[in-house]
Structure 1
């Protein structure tokens, strides 16, 4: 199901107030929201301040005429549909306008029916374009993320628009919202999809090592540099690099990154000469970079170079309608992973999850449901394991959404393998033990450990 198209807005441009009044009355009767401008220059300013999908403009106007306005609007992204009003005897100009990208035209003085016929076609074209953008966006983003909210559908449209364009993108959002997933969608939708995609966490290494890792180094440039390395920008040449937590980048590395964005050049540590690279940069951060700029921790010029297009991922608390679909997805995934499918979702579970604030966002929800499935008994989910619930048996609670400790992950996975082996062996324990590569005694101990009916010996079936 796609998001409904908003009420169409149309910008009416004419230097005659009487014509503007008439057009407003007719278009508003069609359910359109009308904005007015008295000439092309004012129209362009109004459009840049608040873009509209449809423009109805006179051809002859002072300052900036209809043809000039059309050309300017065609350069905007995305361009609106433009319908021009032509004077009697100016059919040649109308043909030229259509060749320049105008959607259609009608003649002045105009009949209401003629005007409405043209405008209705334009509105329908706007509607179809909107629906197509939403579908294309969902196709691109849905391969990386699960969502149902209008907020994420709007983000999907923007991802689909910007992915094919070779432009720097800054992905912002709180920790755990899925910034890396959005970056993956941008790469898949680009013409660099079949080229290298390199990822780097700017907070993972010391400033010196981060600089060498990103931009490469000469042999002997520092202690331990036994051979030259091209760096991650060199490895990503022709492809894309994701700079995660870019707000943590050290000042020296910020200066070098700025040179990459401005000049398309990198200079490895210890080398005098720079070399050209062709890399699309996607940066991600949970920080407020403008605040970092004001604090002197981040270069202002670099911020503007990174912030060509900004995509903000809303936190989960702003889109609670996504929680149930995410929860079902994670429950099914972990049930299959741990061998406890089919899994029955208890009544009220999804509502309870949707009511939780999830400060750690999607990552917290995922970790919480992994723990719920892994630690619950085989006969059903133990809801006392959810965040905010009182721990069963006086056990110390896990932090809400904390990743499972390694031991519990291993045990959950082992239990899943045992359940799958028993299922494949139709309950025959000897056959299940053979499939698992363990002795029957070992399998019996594991069954008892995981509460899988291993406490008493049972006769073999089918053996």
Structure 2
């Protein structure tokens, strides 16, 4: 069953609120009420509705002020205003301020319902577009078909357009950074900067200077002022990777930025405002870290307005064959060799392994298979759990270079139909150099044409 759209009605007259509730519920909407602008704003911030219907004349914060405050917080919010008969000038002012539409009081039932239907349909279409955009964004950064990842895509679709902090949790190698990228792509900050910071990479002192900026001469080596990563991300998004590694002193300063929206660079007296959405990622159990006193509880709750858990690969075995084919094609192209078709036996071996290193381990294993393939044949014995008994470590620089070189040589020989002289000319190499390379890389074979 689809979720009922929420409509918030703001009016100081209980009778009008009752009438609006009765009418709007006939459209299948859930209706919440507020007796004045301040209460309506609190309710809007606690749970943004699909539609806000507000009277213009209310004590305290009137409808026009409420409209402007709501639009500041949520530029896409749909607000319909109710005007008294004869106050068309106010209605025009409300439309200029971003109102979706208006109707007059005393209102005609059909007029009210027509306006509300259009607003709710616009909200539904916008939500559907946001969902599809977020699912597309996640599919562009991750390969999946499993129910677990499809559910995660749905959650990304919900949270991406809403400007809240998100805590992304999951084991190492699951793709937490890819989820963060999908959130940014589907957010209203997609065109603004995405700045990344690894919280485990620097000492506490350097981490604070990197995050919050510093004045010239604030410490040894600070030969010029820097705005810091919060300054660089102003208007955009800051991804705090491995946030569980952040030092206690830095945790307190980060909390103040999240609470106040202000950054004070190291060595400066004055703070300045920043507009930054924070995404945080960690493989640690932050709740357990809070319990043992290693992570601030108040910061934990500030970061996890929404928490998204990326499932490990063993919980989504349906994704293993898709990922394997994806990585086979990627590394075959990178090493300049034909993409080897995986056998059913190879895919079964891949699916049977638990992949403690998750997607990263699978990628490394497939990269090794392609790099060490001969004539398009993959060697399953190199896989985790095979005769070697363990997963191969990630390829080093020398192995990667040799794999790429091997691929170029194989392609040149294939194009020359095994003629080494012709292949050497195509590669711009002396034939003897080509022969030495083939021998060194284990590609020399009997019967190759000499030309």
Return the TM-score normalized by structure 1. Answer: 0.68
CA distance in 2, matches of 1:56, 1:172: 38
Query: What is the aligned partner in structure 2 of residue 251 from structure 1?
Result: 248
Query: What is the aligned partner in structure 2 of residue 369 from structure 1?
Result: 366
Query: What is the aligned partner in structure 2 of residue 266 from structure 1?
Result: 265
Q: What are the superposed Cα offsets for residues 397-420 of structure 1, whole Å, 9 maximum, x if unpaired?
A: 317xx5346675455334323223
CA distance in 1, matches of 2:110, 2:351: 50
Residue 51 of structure 2 corresponds to residue 54 of structure 1: yes
Q: Which moved more, 1:319-328 or 1:172-181?
A: 319-328
SS for the counterpart of 1:27 is coil
- In the TM superposition, what is the alpha-carbon distance from 1:333 to its structure 2 partner? 0.7
Query: What is the aligned partner in structure 1 of residue 388 from structure 2?
Result: 395
Q: Is the 8 A contact 2:176 2:310 kept in 1?
A: no
CA distance in 2, matches of 1:307, 1:152: 20
CA distance in 1, matches of 2:19, 2:205: 66
Distance 1:99 1:260, change over 3 A: closer
Query: What CA RMSD, in Å, does the superposition of the two structures yield over aligned residues?
Result: 4.9
Query: What is the aligned partner in structure 2 of residue 189 from structure 1?
Result: 190
Query: What is the aligned partner in structure 2 of residue 315 from structure 1?
Result: 311
- In the TM superposition, what is the alpha-carbon distance from 1:118 to its structure 2 partner? 1.9
Q: What are the superposed Cα offsets for residues 57-115 of structure 1, whole Å, 9 maximum, x if unpaired?
A: 56677897755654554344365312345565554554444344321233456555434
SS for the counterpart of 1:363 is helix
> Which residues of structure 1 form unaligned runs of 5+?
222-226
Q: What are the superposed Cα offsets for residues 278-332 of structure 1, whole Å, 9 maximum, x if unpaired?
A: 986765433344543443223456556x738667363355777766654443221
Q: Which moved more, 1:102-111 or 1:208-217?
A: 208-217
- In the TM superposition, what is the alpha-carbon distance from 1:427 to its structure 2 partner? 3.0
Residue 290 of structure 2 corresponds to residue 297 of structure 1: no
Q: Is the 8 A contact 2:365 2:391 kept in 1?
A: no
Q: Is the 8 A contact 1:172 1:310 kept in 2?
A: no
Q: Is the 8 A contact 2:170 2:311 kept in 1?
A: yes
SS for the counterpart of 1:439 is helix
- In the TM superposition, what is the alpha-carbon distance from 1:27 to its structure 2 partner? 0.5
SS for the counterpart of 1:11 is strand
Query: What is the aligned partner in structure 2 of residue 224 from structure 1?
Result: none
CA distance in 2, matches of 1:242, 1:231: 25
Query: What is the aligned partner in structure 2 of residue 416 from structure 1?
Result: 407
> Which residues of structure 2 form unaligned runs of 5+?
none
Q: Is the 8 A contact 1:136 1:157 kept in 2?
A: no
Residue 221 of structure 2 corresponds to residue 228 of structure 1: yes
CA distance in 1, matches of 2:348, 2:375: 23
Counterpart mapping for 1:13-412 below 5 A? 13=9, 15-16=14-15, 19-20=19-20, 22-24=22-24, 26-28=26-28, 33-37=29-33, 39-40=35-36, 46-57=43-54, 67=64, 70-77=67-74, 80-86=77-83, 88-89=85-86, 91-107=88-104, 113-134=110-131, 137=134, 145=142, 149=150, 151-152=152-153, 154-155=155-156, 158-159=159-160, 162=163, 172-181=169-178, 186=184, 189-192=190-193, 200-204=197-201, 228-229=221-222, 238-240=231-233, 243-254=240-251, 264-267=263-266, 283-300=280-297, 307=303, 312=308, 314-316=310-312, 326-346=323-343, 359-382=356-379, 386=383, 390-391=385-386, 394-398=387-391, 403-404=394-395, 409=400, 411-412=402-403
Distance 1:228 1:360, change over 3 A: same
Return the TM-score normalized by structure 2. Answer: 0.70
Aligned length: 425
SS for the counterpart of 2:284 is coil
Query: What is the aligned partner in structure 2 of residue 455 from structure 1?
Result: 445
Q: Is the 8 A contact 1:140 1:189 kept in 2?
A: no
- In the TM superposition, what is the alpha-carbon distance from 1:455 to its structure 2 partner? 3.2
CA distance in 2, matches of 1:351, 1:44: 56
SS for the counterpart of 2:153 is helix
Q: Is the 8 A contact 2:27 2:117 kept in 1?
A: no
- In the TM superposition, what is the alpha-carbon distance from 1:53 to its structure 2 partner? 1.5
Query: What is the aligned partner in structure 2 of residue 439 from structure 1?
Result: 433
Q: Is the 8 A contact 2:418 2:449 kept in 1?
A: no
